[in-house]
Amino acid sequence: MELTKEKLARIFDETLLDPLATKKDIEELCARARKYNFASVAILPCNIAHAAACLKGSEVMVCAAVGFPLGSITPEAKAVEAADAVENGADEVDMVMNIGALKAGHVDLVKRDIEAVIAASGGKTVKVIIEISLLTPVEAKMACILASEAGANYVKSSTGFKGFPIRPTSAEDVRHMRRYAADHVKVKAAGGIRTPEDALAVISAGADRIGTSSGAKITEAYEGRG
């Protein structure tokens, strides 16, 4: 199947996670998302209600970043944040896994953390951010397995936040996630994906969605290829 410009754009979660973002910035983000018909806008919880209003009547979803960017709040607090985001209009939730707990081997806590957010999200799509560049291959495998067992819809490679990832998400990262996530769990690649070549590499490796702040630039560059 040919990957047209329009189909490529529908893979993107256009991202604005800057804590300095203003209402005007959110409005401009939503206008871009409408123009290219991106899958969603991925934003901080404080901006959910405004983005939902801006995108009303469009196909573009609103995605809330929960437990962002470190994932180190308690499961109960993370669940409250997810529930609040959904109440304010979020269609999807991208939650940051408790990375320290995973690395310490506290797998029950990691799973409970994910389950709490899923329960609080009321059936909305939940993506679990594992911050793969901070994990060993064995830890990344376990993160994908735990997210699958907890009932997540996606595993996601990185927050893409300032300082993370410590390297861009690679096609091999995506292949590793696809290998160990359950068959029904999709993969989202994020962090350092800025060109059509970057996007095509992770898509070929198995990414179903891409998080990027460069969706418009990538789409325009891809269109320019003819």
Among all residues, which ones are annotated catalytic?
94, 156, 188
Whether the CA torsion 43, 50, 122, 80 is positive or negative: it is positive
Q: Cα 55 from chain centroid?
A: 19
User: The tokens of 199 are what?
Assistant: 């996007």
The amino acid present at 27, given as its one-letter code, is E
Centre a 10 Å sphere on the Cβ of residue 224 and count the other Cβ atoms it contains.
9
Which of 32, 200, 86 has its CA nearest to residue 13?
32
Contact 127, 93 (CB under 8 A): yes
- b/e code 103-126 from CB counts within 10 Å (16+ = b): eeeeeebbbbbbbbbbbbbeebbb
Give per-residue burial for 88-99: e unless 16+ CB within 10 Å, then b. bbbbbbbbbbbb
Q: Cβ(76)–Cβ(116) under 8 Å? A: yes
DSSP-based three-state secondary structure for 122: coil
